Amino acid sequence: MLIAQISDLHVAPDESFMRKFVDANVLLMRAVEYLNTMTPRPDVVVATGDLTDHGTVDEYLMLGEILGGLEIPLYLVPGNHDEPDVLRQVLGTPDYVTGPTFDYTVDDHPVRLVAIDSTTPGRHDGELDAAQLLALEALLREQPDRPTFCFMHHPPFETG
């Protein structure tokens, strides 16, 4: 199974300060075009956070338009620049997200996909709480011999 990961998309409007230096929207459009034409083509794409720069309605509309061109199954997990409630309001709740957070498991592929929402409302750092760690441990014990890919926005260890 081939999994493509894209991260820190930071989709933003034209007048955004960041886009004066890096046009993340154009770069994401190029990435979508490339992913669609790769040989072999990825089986899935996971987008691991900072999908937008400020989590606004307009940014999620732009994100939806750009990612709408992707011809490969896509799985999202928010990052600290995202607003999950706004994401759901604008793009809807993806079918694979069944709870109040973006913690979810997809068992439809040869490799089990496990998303862990490491965002903390109102903060820019991330963390996994005790309940998430216990749930992850239980999930991994359910099928210990099955290949599993865990993805999240923040690194799973302390960094400088």
Per-residue pLDDT tens over the stretch 44-101: 999 998 999 999 999 999 999 999 999 999 999 999 899 999 999 999 999 999 888 8
Other Cβ atoms less than 10 A from the Cβ of 10: the count is 23
What pTM does this model have?
0.92
How far from chain centre, in Å, is Cα 87? Answer: 11
CA–CA separation, 134 and 92 (whole Å): 28
| Distances 31 to 6, 16, 34, 38, 144 between C-alpha atoms, Å | 8, 20, 5, 10, 34
Element (DSSP H or E) covering residue 150: strand 148-151
Read off the pLDDT band of 156 (50, 70, 90).
confident
Q: What is the 3-state secondary structure (H, E, C) of 76-123?
A: EECCCCCCHHHHHHHHCCCCCCCCCCCCEEECCCCCEEEECCCECCCC
CA–CA separation, 53 and 24 (whole Å): 10
Note the pLDDT of residue 124: 75
Residue positions counted in the chain: 160
Q: Is residue 46 within 8 Å of 151, Cβ to Cβ? A: yes
Read off the pLDDT band of 150 (50, 70, 90).
very high
Average model confidence (pLDDT) for the chain? 92
Q: Which residues contact 65 (CB under 8 A, 6 or more apart)?
A: none
Q: What is the pLDDT of residues 20-31, one digit of tens each?
A: 889 999 999 999
